Structure 1
Amino acid sequence: MSMLAPGSLPPGLRVYAIGDIHGCAARLAALHAAIAADWDLSPTERCAVVHLGDYVDRGPDSAGVLKRLMQPPPLPDAETVLLRGNHEVMMLEALAAGPGTAAEDLWLANGGRTTLRSYGPAGPPEAHLALLRATTLSWQAGDYLFVHAGIDPRRPFSLQREQDLLWIREPFLSWPHPLERVVVHGHTPSRAPELRRHRIGIDTGAVAGGPLTALVLEADMLRFLSA
């Protein structure tokens, strides 16, 4: 069901934004299939598929998630955007620092062990690590800013810190005032998508038994898909 969105996109553009995946490769495959079916029912001129980060850790098949993200997008002509989450940062820093380091301890304590198990003794291939290094911190379209965690609402968008884009919760989540753009984010799980005047949160806890959610934005409307 479509509803009025808090922002708008340029004419002819549709955006599918996907929340935190956390190793749930089967759910990602199902959601990509749902996006393809949705597109086939009603295509538009342009499309972007935006993944909001946290592809790895905690869930059973992080290796499968990254393998899928290396394949062609679910829509052949779509722009694919891979944003960086805090779990990608922890993984890259841990593997660079090596065994027995504080960086490795932090990663393992936050679900890194399940990621390592999904790869087996050989560990993550370089192609997967290169994919994670190539992720970006943000993406913009129309009235929307897409990031992993959120922004520091006390700072202009041009002065945001990487730490906040990857990790912030407060004061962003409870900020009561308008922002320069509507922020689409994951990072903080909720039972259902959170729709506010200045933000849309779509981490619906797929790794904890909730659905994997995609926000569909077009013109001044929004709706949701899930798997």
Structure 2
Amino acid sequence: MAGLFRKIFGGNTEKVVEKPPRVRLSLDPLAYAAIYAIGDVHGCYEALIEAERRIVEDASLIAGPKLIVLLGDYVDRGKRSRDVLQHLCAPAPEGFHRVALCGNHDDAFFKFLTAPRTNIGWLEFGGEETLYSYGVDAKYLFSQGRGGLDALCAAIRLAVPTEHIELLRSMPIALSIGDLIFVHAGVRPGVSMDSQSDRDLMWIREPFITKGPQLPSLVIHGHTPDMKPVFASGRIGIDTAAFATGNLTVLKIAGGEPSVFPVAA
């Protein structure tokens, strides 16, 4: 659908503005008694709520502050993207800090919201499902005589809260905690974090998946789905395709030891 309407509306008719790189965070490894990482949510709100419930339950006997790191891709494909973003706008559970990293789908949604004509391809990238979670039916608005992209943009302005846009805008791209690196997709092997582009960290698969990070760090990532968590050289992948399988994976790191538990919605 979006390919057709790129032709109808003339393609990239908006000025392309280079956005500054996203923030890269660094936290003290001694600041948290336990760290929990959550894989790609993709609109699976019920699974996210259950994951946080399981995390709170698991951490109830651990003294001290805990950290939840979400690895990105909160929107698209699943049915409740809006509810996922609304949940992330709320405070973390008591006793926890929470960091929501940016995934490639989240970045694509933000770019569409700020420049829809330039980024209309997002509608074919899972965007229709995300808009539908806000009560916006893109297919209907693009049907004959319904106003097309202008009507869609007007509906989005009414439907998407400013706090969701600001959340998407402010999401960091990476988190370093001691020798742990949390990112959405991975890193270019053998390249320092200072030289990694935002696109690397949000989009890379190969050669990262095959070769690993080749850095003195353990990289914890999502983006590349598998039926179960992947423990490989220098990396742990925890995208278990929750939108398709119903299983959202949580990685726990406490006492220097990683372990995982699946969460079924």
C-alpha distance in structure 1 between counterparts of 2:237 and 2:246, whole Å? 14
Q: Is structure 2 residue 146 aligned with structure 1 residue 110?
A: no
Name the larger-Rg structure.
2
Note the residue ranges of structure 2 that are not aligned, 5 or more in a row: 1-28, 137-157
> Cα 1:177–1:127, aligned 2, differ >3 Å: closer, same or farther?
closer
Match of 1:187 in 2: 223
Note the residue ranges of structure 1 that are not aligned, 5 or more in a row: 1-8
C-alpha distance in structure 2 between counterparts of 1:30 and 1:192, whole Å? 18
User: Aligned ranges for residues 50-89 of structure 1 at < 5 Å?
Assistant: 50-74=69-93, 76-89=94-107
Q: What TM-score, normalized to structure 2?
A: 0.77
Q: Is structure 2 residue 237 aligned with structure 1 residue 201?
A: yes
User: Structure 1 counterpart of 2:119, which letter?
Assistant: A
C-alpha distance in structure 1 between counterparts of 2:262 and 2:171, whole Å? 24
Alignment partner for residue 13 of structure 1, among 33, 54, 76? 33
Q: How many residues align?
A: 214
User: Aligned ranges for residues 129-140 of structure 1 at < 5 Å?
Assistant: 129-140=165-176
C-alpha distance in structure 1 between counterparts of 2:189 and 2:246, whole Å? 28
C-alpha distance in structure 2 between counterparts of 1:176 and 1:211, whole Å? 25
| Partner SS for 1:145 | strand
Q: What percent identity do the matched residue pairs reach?
A: 39
Q: What TM-score, normalized to structure 1?
A: 0.89
C-alpha distance in structure 2 between counterparts of 1:154 and 1:181, whole Å? 11
Preserved contact between residue 75 and residue 106 of structure 2 (Cα < 8 Å): yes
Preserved contact between residue 186 and residue 201 of structure 1 (Cα < 8 Å): yes
Deviation sequence 1:54-97 (CA, Å, 0-9, x none): 000010000010111111213x1212111000001111111111
C-alpha distance in structure 2 between counterparts of 1:78 and 1:32, whole Å? 10
User: Structure 1 counterpart of 2:72, which letter?
Assistant: G
Preserved contact between residue 151 and residue 165 of structure 1 (Cα < 8 Å): yes
Match of 2:256 in 1: 220
| Partner SS for 1:174 | helix
| Partner SS for 2:41 | coil
Match of 1:142 in 2: 178
User: Structure 2 counterpart of 1:145, which letter?
Assistant: I
Match of 1:97 in 2: 115
